[in-house]
Structure 1
Amino acid sequence: MNEQPNLNYLHQLSGGDKEFENKLLDVLKREFPEEEAVYHQNIEQGNFTEAASNVHKLKHKISILGLEESYRFAEIYEEELRENDPKKHKSFNEILQNMSDFIAKS
């Protein structure tokens, strides 16, 4: 996926309220690394049902960053994890890295 994170949805959601945008970005910066780490831990331990729950939570952050294709991918991946199928893990990692890089620069 060549999709790039952006703040368009966040701007739309905030109605131009910069304080709200900054608070939401702070939440992303604080929560994303923790949620990503728990997801990786569950994948490594073979806890795919738990990893599916992690993906479900991460989908909200994917959406906030305007990653529509990635959101649809995450929906499919979440269901596959519930069926004990982690094959899309590498592709999902690319999405997470893309998000991480963007959040670090924001």
Structure 2
Amino acid sequence: MTERPNLNYIKEISGGNEDFEKKFLTIIQTEFPKEKNDYIENLAANNLEESAKIVHKIKHKLGILGLTGGYKLAIKYEEDLKYGNTRLEKEFQDILKSVEEFILKIA
């Protein structure tokens, strides 16, 4: 079964504070699309070092959204990119797509 983004962690750290949850989600909804686009642009330009920096930013959002496996993959992918290796690109793209769909659904 494929991992699905969820709000469990955000709800846990919010302690039931809905304003906190909304602010946290707004940050993710604002930052994630830009970071995803920056990642895609840098990858297309073969700027793998900058791509790795963006993956670093995105991986924390994956953890926050309950994607433990996605977070672990992002750690490995970030390191691979630093050495010019893009073999995990497809799996990472699939994770980005699932997060994007989730963000649109909760908007």
TM-score by shorter chain over 0.5: yes
Which residue of structure 1 aligns with residue 100 of structure 2?
100
Q: Distance in 2 between matches of 1:91 and 1:69?
A: 11
The residue identity in structure 1 corresponding to 2:95 is: I
Residue-pair matches, total: 106
Which residue of structure 2 aligns with residue 64 of structure 1?
64
Q: Which of structures 1 and 2 has the larger relative contact order (alpha carbons within 8 angstroms, sep 6+)? A: 1
- Give the SS at the match of 2:61: helix
Which residue of structure 1 aligns with residue 13 of structure 2?
13
Q: Distance in 2 between matches of 1:71 and 1:6?
A: 13
Q: Distance in 2 between matches of 1:49 and 1:14?
A: 34
Which residue of structure 1 aligns with residue 54 of structure 2?
54
The residue identity in structure 1 corresponding to 2:80 is: E
How far does the alpha carbon of each residue in 1:13-58 deviate from its partner, in whole angstroms, 9 at most, with x for none?
Answer: 1111100000111111111100000000010000111100000000
Q: Distance in 2 between matches of 1:35 and 1:84?
A: 20
1:34-49 aligned within 5 A = 34-49=34-49
Segments of 4+ in structure 1 off by > 3 A? none
Q: Distance in 2 between matches of 1:22 and 1:41?
A: 29
Deviation at 1:68, TM superposition (A): 0.3
Deviation at 1:5, TM superposition (A): 0.5
Contiguous gaps of at least 5 residues in structure 1: none
Please give the TM-score of this superposition, normalised by the length of structure 1: 0.97
The residue identity in structure 2 corresponding to 1:52 is: A
